[in-house]
Amino acid sequence: MIGFAVASAAAALGVGIHGFVGSRRVVQPLLKARDLTPASRWLMFLCWHAVTVMLAALAGGFAWAALDPAANHAGGLLAAFTGALAVLTLYVCARAGFAAWRVPPFVLFTLMTAAAGWNALT
């Protein structure tokens, strides 16, 4: 169950970085941006914090799968979900012209998928 534990730790690290560091460096300046409408700014605020909640749920779900062999199926489903998020992030990076490996969500989702996927398949 080590793979699920690694995925859980990665998601928990994501909560800390995204929820605390990212909020100061991204969300606060975003809310001050006057070239966006108030509705756009607050929708981005909602989305930002929804991702933090999602990462917390992933951390909990992967921890459950790591601790309870009967939850292997749940860990597998979460691995598929993080895999879909990695593919989505890769697509967005391609559209934006970013190198995916330099974008933290791609690295995080890929790590969670690889660790949990390995665990789910063994």
pLDDT digits (tens, 9 = 90+) for 98-120: 999 999 999 999 999 999 999 87
Each residue of 50-76: pLDDT tens digit?
999 999 999 999 999 999 999 999 999
Q: What is the 3-state secondary structure (H, E, C) of the chain?
A: CHHHHHHHHHHHHHHHHHHHHHHHHHHHHHHHCCCCCHHHHHHHHHHHHHHHHHHHHHHHHHHHHHHCHHHHHHHHHHHHHHHHHHHHHHHHHHHHCCCHHHCHHHHHHHHHHHHHHHHHHC
pTM score, whole prediction: 0.92
